[in-house]
Amino acid sequence: MNTIQMKKTDQVKNLGSADGGPEGALRATGGAPSVGGSERTEFLPPNPEVSAQQPRRKFTAHYKLRVLKEAESCNEFGQIGQLLRREGLYFSNLTTWRRQLDQGLLNVMSPKKRGRKNQKINPLAQCVAQLEKENRRLEQRLKQAEIIIDAQKKISEILGIRQDNLDLEGSR
């Protein structure tokens, strides 16, 4: 049998004293302190209104695994029923969760770590990065050398110097 816990403010309505006296703590008997005996206390019944539909419960994979482990350890008559009553579950929950465990769905439902995933470091990545950097440096030096060679060709044309024996590109 379930007992309903009520707030003291729902049970007791302090009507206060006629002179608007101080409000004090409730007495151990549940009544408010009286100032000169002129204060009246009235007990109100609890609010019987219940919400139309309870919110749907969600069980974590960790909770399901814990309950299944406890259910497996029950070996005496009535222990599983006691477990189910204590947890507020139905036997069909156990059946469904056992099926999920057999299919491997409970391991999939376990919470995942949020944030960036750790990437595996390729052991050759550092070597590749170093070679790419060296390649860029050499390409830049090559462009610079080609510009210098072109400038030398133009200067030799302007000065009228013959380049037949100096032309290395034609020999390639």
State how far the alpha carbon of 151 is from the alpha carbons of 47, 144, 146, 156, 157, in Å: 98, 11, 9, 9, 10
Q: Say which residue, 168 or 94, is predicted with more confidence.
A: 94
For residue 55, is pLDDT > 50?
yes
pLDDT, position 11: 45
The domains of the chain are located at 11-46, 61-109, 124-161
- Predicted local confidence at residue 166, as pLDDT: 52
pLDDT score recorded for residue 13: 46
Planar angle of CA 80, 64, 77, nearest 5 degrees:
5
Contact 101, 75 (CB under 8 A): no
Specify the pLDDT at position 22. 46
Q: What integer pLDDT is reported at residue 170 of this predicted model?
A: 52
pTM over 0.75: no
Dump pLDDT digits (tens) for 93-117.
999 999 998 888 877 766 677 888 8
Residue 68 has pLDDT above 90, yes or no: yes
Q: Examine the pLDDT at 51 and tell me if it is beyond 50.
A: yes
Average pLDDT estimate for 122-136:
92
